[in-house]
Structure 1
């Protein structure tokens, strides 16, 4: 299936980027545990694990029910974003000042979900915005 192939390619690119980042950071053995926790938290969610909305079911809902469903999905996504942010902060705290400079440069270059920095204009408009 096409979406499975693209998801597999995306996972491969993620693995390559993480490997390249690890190489650039020149982590010490003492930082390995923090790296493993970080990479585990940064894994893209499996297709079935992402909060989504079934279009046919959504169309059967009343307007207030649709609003409630959209707000619930937004809260789920925010929770996942918060967890990833906490993982980044925890890992970042384990880095040396030189490693932090490297990490900052790499995260700015790849931005959210691999987009090129914060100047990327996604499907939803503003800088750094991206589709969840």
Structure 2
């Protein structure tokens, strides 16, 4: 009897500690853990993008004849700014929606994402056609590194060979 009471007491204490930890985590994390980027974060992102673009421009050794195609390419691949993006429903609005309405919102989001990806793909193909074979190899390497950086955090390129998708 004493062992059972002791085990129950230990179990209740462990659950209490877990609940306290989760409460503290939720309070520190904010409402849903996401927030709009601050102006400082946006400026830092823009600065990093400009540096990457300048490095790619230098690595490709863009000729004066290719400069117009480069400028067009850079203009077409700019990320969507939060002010330009459609607004998400608030947490309260989302909670009021039915499951089919939520699915419709998700489908619309995916359609917009697919359209943006198709536009970027067309811009890459258009710019790629202007490059020399040597420049195309440099661009391919740059693009491969970018994908590894972007998707590598999700386990696609951690360990193993590079021939995996």
Counterpart of 2:57 in structure 1 is 22
| CA root-mean-square deviation | 2.0
Contact 1:11 1:44 in 2 (8 A): no
The equivalences for 1:9-88 within 5 A come to 9-54=44-89, 55-88=91-124
Higher relative contact order (CA 8 A, sep 6+): 2
Report the number of matched residues: 121
Tell me, which stretches of 5 or more residues in structure 1 are unaligned? none
Uncovered stretches (5+) of structure 2, i.e. residues with no partner: 1-35, 158-165
The CA deviation at 1:117 is: 5.8
**Higher Rg of the two aligned structures:** 2
Moved more, 89-98 or 48-57: 48-57
The list of structure 1 runs, each at least 4 consecutive aligned residues, that deviate by more than 6 angstroms after superposition, is none
1:110 to partner: Cα distance: 1.6
How far did 1:74 drift? Answer: 0.8
| TM-score when normalising by structure 1 | 0.82
In structure 2, the residue corresponding to 1:48 is in which secondary structure? coil
